[in-house]
């Protein structure tokens, strides 16, 4: 990566890291404080859901504001609003006031992510997006781990101290963005594919994205409640949540690379089964500190890998011209899943007990296994078209950031092998042919991993292009 490109990306990544430290433990802090005040899991679920409602609303509408006022001013406005809502929570302890503040805070937070992700998106072309996305992921997860570890330290300073620290971090995150040149990258208003079009294009991708939203939101908002109720201190809860985020950081990429070399539908089935087994372990095994940490580490790896593998599967199926809109649509589906998750799962904890969280996780895993297996029996997965890219985008710009050059070229190659014109009628697709595409048209072979690329390339060299035929379309 060039020094100029790194300098261009450094300011938004530093702002993301500073803000992410505070945002990383805010959801945990709110859950623990509400539980300590005697609020029921249902109330905690609704307050937690407000944040994700704000995220969903911001993902749909914040880009319009960004287009009007520019990146730097938008970042300052959104970050200041995050700081204000957090500090107000330290002043007013009332669940429904917190509901309103979390809704506004979620709306402002996704605005911050929109600025950062759109800045990274326009910092380089598709050739370097993979490296920019890797830096983004490292900053995001490292901040999440550090934030959870700081939970116990700040909580020991007093009741208002954690909220003050988070507010200060949100304010400080403005400094890196304020010191960069007054240049506003140009972005376009997002027009994601509609839910019905997404279901037609990739039912597995839609269900995987929705299920991931359900699971990840429950991990961030209801898992701290479970951990506190089994006797862990605030500091220990923060440490266990850090283990979850660490598992997500370290296991997501190996699982994704594995999906590059196998049927992604099989990988999704195994992720669902894996999460079910981990949930059973949480319910049945004796949980000492090390066993609990190991299970939570694995749970983080499985739950957080579900969304990017589902998106990668959907990209294997989508025409090149629909990749960005498809990714943005799946992001909204994921946000909807996150929004409904706490109100849906918290009643199980109120009815069954604290273990209801893992009964819900197990039930969700079994449902996903059944759905993915059914979809595979109806329509087997296409061949992977590009390497897996781990991602947790928060905005429409972040969804576009995941569409790399390799993914676009792989999708063009897929269009030559299958008639995709009926999937997204308003997107132009390449004409399918029998055999490889014409030599004068840019293309790459399907992605099967480095060890399989050379034999496939040699096979293409000796294969004669077949003429077009009437039965070339499927």
pLDDT tens-digit profile of 124-152?
A: 666 666 677 778 888 888 999 999 999 98
pLDDT tens-digit series, residues 281-318: 999 988 899 999 999 999 999 999 999 888 888 888 77
| Closest of 203, 179, 155 to residue 26, by C-alpha | 155
Q: What are phi and psi of 429, to 5 degrees?
A: -125, 160
8 A C-beta contact, residue 70 and residue 187: no
157-164 average pLDDT score = 91
Q: What are phi and psi of 40, to 5 degrees?
A: -75, 160
Q: How far apart are CA 271 and CA 260, in angstroms?
A: 15
| Closest of 330, 337, 295 to residue 315, by C-alpha | 330
8 A C-beta contact, residue 389 and residue 403: no
Residue 392: HSE in the Cβ half-sphere, 13 Å Cα cutoff:
23
8 A C-beta contact, residue 255 and residue 305: yes
Give the DSSP letter string of 109-176.
HHHHHHHHHHHHHTTS-GGGHHHHHHHHHHHHHHHHHHHHHHHHHHHTT-SSHHHHHHHHHHHHTHHH
Q: Which residues have CB under 8 Å from 128's CB, separation 6+?
A: 1, 5
Q: How far apart are CA 273 and CA 448, in angstroms?
A: 25
pLDDT score for 453: 44
Q: Given pLDDT bands bounded at 50, 70 and 90, which one contains residue 449?
A: very low
Dig out the tokens for 169 from the structure: 């971090």
pLDDT score for 186: 55
Q: How far apart are CA 378 and CA 375, in angstroms?
A: 5
Q: How far apart are CA 29 and CA 227, in angstroms?
A: 12
pLDDT tens-digit series, residues 75-119: 888 999 999 999 999 988 889 999 999 999 999 998 888 888 877
Q: How far apart are CA 100 and CA 102, in angstroms?
A: 6
8 A C-beta contact, residue 146 and residue 246: no
pLDDT score for 448: 44
pLDDT tens-digit series, residues 52-63: 999 888 877 777
Q: Given pLDDT bands bounded at 50, 70 and 90, which one contains residue 419?
A: low
Dig out the tokens for 30 from the structure: 């709110």
Report which of residues 390 and 223 the model is more confident about: 223
pLDDT score for 264: 87
Angle, CA 132 vertex, CA 5 and CA 330 arms, to 5°:
140
pLDDT score for 455: 44
Q: How far apart are CA 419 and CA 464, in angstroms?
A: 21
Dig out the tokens for 326 from the structure: 């498809």
Q: How far apart are CA 402 and CA 388, in angstroms?
A: 10
For tokens 């739950």, what's the residue?
303
pLDDT score for 319: 78
| Closest of 403, 449, 446, 442 to residue 128, by C-alpha | 403
Dig out the tokens for 368 from the structure: 């996903």
Q: Which residues have CB under 8 Å from 365's CB, separation 6+?
A: 272, 273, 274, 275, 276, 279
Q: What are phi and psi of 446, to 5 degrees?
A: -55, 150
Provide the whole-model pTM. Answer: 0.83
pLDDT score for 399: 66
Q: What are phi and psi of 444, to 5 degrees?
A: -135, 160
> Integer distance in angstroms from the first to the last C-alpha of the chain?
42
Count, residues in the chain:
474
* Secondary structure E strands in 356-449: none
């Amino acid at each position: 990566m060039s020094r100029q490109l790194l300098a261009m990306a450094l300011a938004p990544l530093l702002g993301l890291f500073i803000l992410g430290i505070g945002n990383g433990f805010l959801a945990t802090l709110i859950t623990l404080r509400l539980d300590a005040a005697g609020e029921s899991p249902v109330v905690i679920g609704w307050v937690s859901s407000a944040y994700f409602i704000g995220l969903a609303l911001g993902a749909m509408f914040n880009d319009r504001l960004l287009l009007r006022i520019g990146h730097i001013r938008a970042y300052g406005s959104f970050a200041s609003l995050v700081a204000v809502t957090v500090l107000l929570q330290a002043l007013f302890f009332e669940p429904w006031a917190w509901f309103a503040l979390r809704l506004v805070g979620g709306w402002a937070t996704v605005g911050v992510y929109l600025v950062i992700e759109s800045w990274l998106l326009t910092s380089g072309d598709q050739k370097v997006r993979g490296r920019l996305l890797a830096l983004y992921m490292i900053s995001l997860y490292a901040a999440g781990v550090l934030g959870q570890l700081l939970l116990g330290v700040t909580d020991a300073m007093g009741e208002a101290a954690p909220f003050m620290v988070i507010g200060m971090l949100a304010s400080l995150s403005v400094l890196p963005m304020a010191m960069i040149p007054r240049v506003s990258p140009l972005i376009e208003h997002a027009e994601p594919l509609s839910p019905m079009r997404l279901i037609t294009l990739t039912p597995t991708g839609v269900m995987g994205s929705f299920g991931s939203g359900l699971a990840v939101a429950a991990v961030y908002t209801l898992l701290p409640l479970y951990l506190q109720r089994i006797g862990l201190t605030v500091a220990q809860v923060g440490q266990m949540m850090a283990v979850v985020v660490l598992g997500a950081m370290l296991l997501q990429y190996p699982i994704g690379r594995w999906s590059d070399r196998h049927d992604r539908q099989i990988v999704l089935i195994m992720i669902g089964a894996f999460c079910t087994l981990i949930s059973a372990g949480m319910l049945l095994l004796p949980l000492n500190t090390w066993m609990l940490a190991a299970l939570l580490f694995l749970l983080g790896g499985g739950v957080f890998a579900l969304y990017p593998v589902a998106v990668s599967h959907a990209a294997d199926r989508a025409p090149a011209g629909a990749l960005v809109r498809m990714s943005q649509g799946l992001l909204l589906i994921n946000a909807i899943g996150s929004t409904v998750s706490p109100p849906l799962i918290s009643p199980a904890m109120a009815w069954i007990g604290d273990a209801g969280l893992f009964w819900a996780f197990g039930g969700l895993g079994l449902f996903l296994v059944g759905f993915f297996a059914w979809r595979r029996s109806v329509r087997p997965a296409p061949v992977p078209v590009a390497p897996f890219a781990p991602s947790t985008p928060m905005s429409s710009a972040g969804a576009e950031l995941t569409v790399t050059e390799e993914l676009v070229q792989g999708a063009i190659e897929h269009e030559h092998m299958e008639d995709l014109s009926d999937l997204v009628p308003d997107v132009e697709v390449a004409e399918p042919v029998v055999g490889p595409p014409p030599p004068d048209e840019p293309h790459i072979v399907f992605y099967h991993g480095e060890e399989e690329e050379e034999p496939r390339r040699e096979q293409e060299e000796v294969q004669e292009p077949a003429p077009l035929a009437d039965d070339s379309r499927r």
